[in-house]
Chains A and B, each alone.
Chain A
Amino acid sequence: MSTNSAGITLAGRLPRHKLKNRRNARLLLLMLGPSALLIGVFVVAPVIYAFYLSLTNTTLLGFEARNPKFIGLDNFKYLLGNGDFLSSLGKTGIFIALSAIIGQTALGMISALLLKNKWMRAKGIFGAAIVMPMVVPEVVASLAWASMLYSGPEGTVNMITHLFGMGAVAWLQQYALISIIVINIWRGIAFAMIMFQAALEDVPDELIEAARIDGASALQIFRVVTLPLIRGPVFLYLLLTAITTAGIFGLVYFLTQGGPGGDTQLVALFIFDRAFQFSQIGLGSAASVIMLVIVLILGLTYVRVAKVEV
């Protein structure tokens, strides 16, 4: 960050409090410097270091650990031809699409619309219930679902499906990816709901009321009146949720550790596995770099589209 003394001014100077530029520069450095340093050392530097490590065969085990070598783009060549990595990319895509883009958005929108009804009672209780999954730490969320999805007939989900005449299913083995998708939908409804509630506040009630008096059905009102007005925030939400969902680790690792047979090995888990289970730091870094590039593209789009005022 540039703290060049030229051009630094304190906003809204009164003549008596006009400060010298150099002093301002030092003050700014002291006030913003620690933050910049902290972010620089623990966030920015690792990103840069990841690019460097991705070009080496750094490992923590075996004779190669003694002198890591620069190997160019070999790690990337390996990853892009490696079935495990490509399938982890694919699974991450499916995970984001089904859980965040479709599931959370649909259920979050439904919740927000239902809770917008003036006639509805006990909104506070419904709202609190929906917010709970988001509020608790991810480890607790996973733990709660470990019992829900227990494979025996006494598992909660199996008891529910039994009411519909289905036999007991080992959800985390037979339908592992679907299971973690459902869990992530469950966890993310509230975030979508809150985002949409904020957006819906900007939709004038009179418009809805007018359409209703005209006899439009709820679905028509949503499609024709509401949705066009909140299109912007919805798009921003989709970008934001895609970004955060790409980084999910603990929720899945706690329950399946990527298994069975790599069925739930999202990119985040692939990176962890390679870097810390098999000590292939270089390879894990290369996978991190690929993930970073994808996420940063989404992030840049977000920053652009959001037109945030600075």
Chain B
Amino acid sequence: MIRNRILSAVALTAGGVLMATGLSSCAAEAPADGPATITVLAHQQVRADAIKAEIPAFEAAMAKQGQKITVKLETDILTDAQFSTKITQQYNAGTAPDVVDMNSAGMSGYAGAGYLLPLDDYLAKWPGWESFFPITKAAAKAADGKTYALPHEMGVQSLFYRKDVLTKLGIDTSQPKTWDELIGRLQKISAATGGPAITLPAGTAWGGGSWAEGFGNIVAGTDGKFFDESTGKWDVKNEGVAASFDLFAKLTQDKLLPVQDLQNPNPWIATKYKGFVDGSIPVAGQGSWGWKYDWGPSGSAPIEDLTSKVSTWNFPALDASGSPYVTTAPGFSWAVTAKTKYADASVKFIQWMSSDEALANQLVAVGAVSPRSGLDSVAPYSNEPQLLEAEAQLTKAVTVPYADGVDQISMAVQKATEDILNGASGSEATSTFVKQATDLLGPTKVN
């Protein structure tokens, strides 16, 4: 008997290990002005550094108002794709941090699933919200009409080029009117360097950037009604879409795009961080954050003497009837997790981060354009002519559509442009896109 008991005891111990796992924690609502500890997640180093710098001032300001709020910054450096996988899992598991700094482009998916706290009530009571540009407010609205995110930056996208390199090659640096004109110059560059001449994100390796920073910029310049706001449908067979794919095919066939680099994992490294920096690929489609985030002194790949070496063109029109334009990029927003224990403290934090000085510091750190008015006299933002100039362009910038379904459109664009990189023609890519987009969006969201 005793023998068996001992044997049983050993087995029981083993079973006990299994039992010790059913523990779960329950979240309870904390009082609005009691002590609070909020966790903030950032997934890009520059942004994390900018946030970190503001935390002590925020905590001090709150202490002065009589509330103890501790902010814990969680920095996890991830690519966009890795970040979206991680944060989706955390939201779904209920383990997400209280505040997440995220690209506004991904916000609608999380909002739809109910992971984010609707901010409408808070914003209605907050005078600061008045000063936000209408274009920013529109960008922050989800498909259900509610606002789930507080944008803290805007971007303007255009073509960046290496003034020094082009001048040395004897190539015209005035604003090209049409793509034909620009392609002529790119061919001259390519003839001189023997390599590709322009970086436009395309293909699957660049992920969402192939849409938001690549194809989207081109299609936004076509007159077309790619997305119909009134019906909420995407016109995938739109002429502008086909013309944009033709352009990518032309750039690929003429060997003007760095096809192989674009197919590598992390394609931005070989193109933007190497080719543009050493001048071998001297033109790049790029957002205003390039001034800091990518090529600034503490950016990912600094270019010395940046402002004297680099300048921008507007995107040229696809045909002679159009005129050059810039596009908006929504940039990053603050989102508060729906299941947070400290909703009020979290909202206080993101509102404070949108106050004059805190906002100006962050904008300059990442090279973003202000999402609201009233910042052009606040240092250090006021000392950045490139950013102020971009802000001035914001009102006449064209918007790249990012309505519901944009994730699927983005996927279809990645696939279709990948085909082009692999040698497909523009019309082949267009039919791939139509098929993929219809497949992914379902018949109700496609015209």
Contact = CB atoms under 8 A, between A and B. Distances in A.
B143 A63 contact: yes
A261 B260 contact: no
B109 A61 contact: yes
23 contacts: A19-B4, A30-B7, A30-B15, A31-B7, A33-B11, A34-B11, A34-B15, A34-B17, A60-B88, A60-B89, A61-B109, A61-B112, A62-B109, A63-B112, A65-B113, A65-B114, A151-B260, A170-B264, A259-B205, A261-B415, A276-B88, A276-B89, A277-B85
A261 B204 contact: yes
Contacts of A257: 265
Question: What 8 A-B pairs are tightest by C-beta distance, nearest first?
Answer: A65-B113, A260-B263, A61-B109, A30-B11, A261-B418, A62-B112, A63-B112, A34-B15
Interface residues of A, number: 34
Contacts of B260: 151, 170, 173-174
Interface string B1-39: 000100110011011011000000000000000000000
A66 B144 CA distance: 14
A207 interface: no
B71 to A, nearest CB: 27
B113 A63 contact: yes
A260 B85 contact: no
Interface in B259-279: 260, 263-265
B422 interface: yes
Contacts of A60: 88-89, 91-92, 113
A16 B11 CA distance: 24
Contact of B265 (A61, A82, A256): A256
Interface of A: 19, 23, 26-27, 30-31, 33-34, 37-38, 59-66, 82, 151, 170, 172-174, 256-257, 259-262, 276-279
B17 to A, nearest CB: 8
Could you say which of A26, A34, A61 has the most chain B C-beta atoms within 10 Å of its C-beta? A61
B23 to A, nearest CB: 16
A174 B260 CA distance: 8
Interface size class of B (residues with CB under 8 A): 35 or more
B312 to A, nearest CB: 30
A260 B205 contact: yes
A269 B84 CA distance: 17
A27 B81 CA distance: 50
Nearest to B92: A60
B110 interface: yes
A259 B263 contact: yes
B419 A261 contact: yes
B439 interface: yes
B434 to A, nearest CB: 14
A261 B203 contact: yes
Contacts of A33: 11, 15
B11 A279 contact: no
Contact of A61 (B8, B11, B88, B415): B88
Select the residue from B4, B265, B411 with max chain A CB neighbours within 10 A.
B265
B263 A277 contact: no
Contact of A277 (B84, B110, B112, B415): B84
B421 interface: yes
Contacts of B108: 62
Interface in B59-91: 81, 84-85, 88-89, 91
B96 to A, nearest CB: 12
Contacts of A151: 260, 264
B110 A61 contact: yes
A34 B7 CA distance: 13
A31 B11 contact: yes
